[in-house]
Structure 1
Amino acid sequence: MDEPLRPIDQLLRIMARLRDPQGGCPWDLEQDFSTIAPYTIEEAYEVADAIDRNDLDALKDELGDLLLQVVFHAQMAQERGAFGFDEVAAAIGAKMVRRHPHVFGDARFADAQEQTVAWEAIKRAERAAAGDADRSALAGVARGLPEWQRATKLQSRAARAGFDWPGPEPVLAKLQEELEEVRAEFARGEVADNHARLQDEIGDLLFVCANLARHAKVDVGAALRQANLKFERRFRAMERLAEADGTPLPSLDLPRQDAYWERAKRLERGQAD
């Protein structure tokens, strides 16, 4: 009697069947790396959302969705004769062993900071062995990252080379400086007339915000997700309050909408309305 397939083997077979030109799924057959990439990114964010909500049942499902993305890409690569899922798993396993010589070898590090320095040295050696001649401290920071994450990584790499503010106070001062530059651009006239300058100055402002978060050891993505959730929660409460009063929110002017916003905040904080 044949042993039952392991779940991962079953998943690989399902993906191969979906991509089978003879009777597979038309949608799956139409996809390529570029069309699937946005779904891969989306699923990673769904994993992060489940973690934020501390929903382990959802996390299990979302990790499965993310795993499917890996299987999908590996199947398409295998069809091209490039690599398959086993090669993906083998490559990451070998990389983890190589990058943890203190666990799988004889290396010893005094603390996590020393280990991080060694980790970056190993990565530089890997890039050099692969023929990458870029020796910059910023080498290897992927351009496909979400820009807020790329900003933080660039700043962290520069900090390891010693190019960093000593603490949050000068970052706050720089933030105020960048805010004033944005204010000055708005004062110059119509937004349409200086859009490029506004984009540049607002970009600088956001970059400094990311740096401030780094100094506070706050994850920018997590902070922004939390802010988005808070805004959504309060705005929906505004809508419910206005509807209960028989006045749809869009029909109100801004001062009256602001009054509902303050009511929503008080209710959220458990204060009497």
Structure 2
Amino acid sequence: MQPSREISRLIEIMAALRDPVTGCPWDLEQTFATIRHYTIEEAYEVADAVEREDFADLREELGDLLLQPIYQAQLAKEAGHFDIGDVIYAITSKLIRRHPHVFGDLDANDAEAAQSRWEAIKVEERAAKAARKGEQTPSVLDDVPSTLPALARAEKLTKRAAQVGFDWPHYAAVKEKLLEELAEVDSAREMQDQAAVQEEIGDLLFAAANLARQAGVDPEAALRDANSKFSRRFHYVEARCREDGVAVEDAGLDRLDSYWNEIRAADKA
């Protein structure tokens, strides 16, 4: 077996790994449930490579991610559900259907018009899916995955609700709601009700995700950027402690804060 640029070789390798007689013992033990977390992990590693603009890593991580649908399709084929050809047919069909302005006779003069058409077609698809399953009129919240990161899911839920008019009228109204939720966190803490504190902080974070959406910001991406900024600045604080010959844990808040303010000022310069 030799490497290849053709996806057919990857499919062949995956089938060989799952061969009941000559396959890999570890791969033969895997199920949909045991490999699902790898799909999520690999997607995050792709995102990380993109954010770092490391294209050598990106090439490798995209390969790792590509393996996941090949792997799951092989499991599905063995169980008689579908194969990778069915997967490819489904996505090509969906892309053609959702882009009538490219593959059909409809016009979309700008990105906003294309997005509007895309969303309208998705609504039709959800209704058709519900009909196939014998379900009643689908909820606009259907198919928002429960496994999404909580902040990303909050943004997606509020975006879906907004499509049918259930939304704050403007940014200022969401800001007011955010302050209201913060006051409720304070109230729960004053009552020393930890369960209520957790609930109110959840409401606060949900309101923050809604605020981000109203401001045209992806809250998940914004928080990732904030995490990265905090890590970079704290690494600077640790480096300054080493320069001054003091352990971080012995430096004291005033010294640590002064180092933090140094890097903050440098960032804003």
TM-score (norm 1): 0.88
Contact kept? 1:99, 1:122, Cα under 8 Å: no
- Where in structure 2 are the equivalents of 1:114-263 lying within 5 Å? 114-131=116-133, 132-189=135-192, 194-263=193-262
Unpaired stretches in structure 2, ≥5 consecutive residues = none
Superposed CA offset, 1:216-241 (max 9, x none): 11111211110111011111111111
The alignment-based identity, stated in percent, is: 50
CA distance in 2: counterparts of 1:215 and 1:141, whole angstroms: 19
User: Cα gap change, 1:268/1:23 in structure 2, threshold over 3 Å: closer, same or farther?
Assistant: farther
CA distance in 1: counterparts of 2:30 and 2:268, whole angstroms: 47
Deviation, 1:137, is: 2.2
| Secondary structure of 1:35's aligned partner | helix
Instruction: Tell me what 1:34 maps to.
Output: 33
CA distance in 2: counterparts of 1:155 and 1:147, whole angstroms: 12
Unpaired stretches in structure 1, ≥5 consecutive residues = none
Instruction: Tell me what 1:23 maps to.
Output: 22
Letter in 2 for 1:130: R
User: Cα gap change, 1:78/1:248 in structure 2, threshold over 3 Å: closer, same or farther?
Assistant: same
Contact kept? 2:127, 2:137, Cα under 8 Å: no
CA distance in 2: counterparts of 1:217 and 1:134, whole angstroms: 30
Q: Which moved more, 1:207-216 or 1:89-98?
A: 89-98
CA distance in 2: counterparts of 1:179 and 1:103, whole angstroms: 47
CA distance in 1: counterparts of 2:67 and 2:119, whole angstroms: 33
CA distance in 2: counterparts of 1:86 and 1:137, whole angstroms: 30
| Secondary structure of 1:88's aligned partner | helix
CA distance in 1: counterparts of 2:73 and 2:39, whole angstroms: 13
CA distance in 2: counterparts of 1:45 and 1:203, whole angstroms: 24
CA distance in 2: counterparts of 1:52 and 1:6, whole angstroms: 26
Deviation, 1:188, is: 1.9
Deviation, 1:113, is: 5.4
Deviation, 1:70, is: 1.1
What is the number of residues matched between the two proteins? 263
CA distance in 1: counterparts of 2:10 and 2:116, whole angstroms: 40
Q: Which moved more, 1:254-263 or 1:169-178?
A: 254-263
Instruction: Tell me what 1:112 maps to.
Output: 114
Superposed CA offset, 1:6-39 (max 9, x none): 5211111221222223232232222211121111
| Secondary structure of 2:81's aligned partner | coil
Contact kept? 2:127, 2:138, Cα under 8 Å: no
Superposed CA offset, 1:170-215 (max 9, x none): 11111111111111112223xxxx2221111011001111011111
Q: Which moved more, 1:34-43 or 1:51-60?
A: 51-60
Letter in 2 for 1:251: D
TM-score (norm 2): 0.89
Contact kept? 2:99, 2:118, Cα under 8 Å: no
Instruction: Indicate the RMSD between aligned Cα atoms, in angstroms.
Output: 2.1
